[in-house]
Amino acid sequence: MGKVQCPFCGDAGDVHEIVYGMPGPDFDFEKYEVGGCIVFDEQPDFRCRVCDWVGFRKPLKRRTK
């Protein structure tokens, strides 16, 4: 998956996929966000580390560079 641009602040590179469930010892905290241990329907799947926006994959734009 390439870099994704945040629809709120426009930053590209600090939007990370949210992973739900208990992270194991080999979890990559630099690549993913921890979403918590309780999983519900319709939870956001991306978070921007710059502005703390959380949302869904569908509205995100891919950067060409």
C-alpha closest to that of 5 among 49, 64, 61, 46: 61
- Residue 1, pLDDT above cutoff 90: no
Distance CA 44, CA 35 (A): 9
Q: Is residue 39 part of a domain?
A: yes
Q: Is residue 65 part of a domain?
A: no
Query: What tokens does 37 get?
Result: 């241990």
pLDDT value of residue 3? 75
Q: How many domains does the chain have?
A: 1
pLDDT value of residue 56? 86
Residue with tokens 């999983």: 39
Containing domain of residue 19, as a range? 1-58
How does pLDDT run across 7-56, given as a tens digit for each residue? 899 988 899 999 998 889 999 999 999 998 888 878 899 999 999 999 98
- Residue 57, pLDDT above cutoff 80: no
Q: Is residue 64 part of a domain?
A: no
- The reported pTM is 0.76
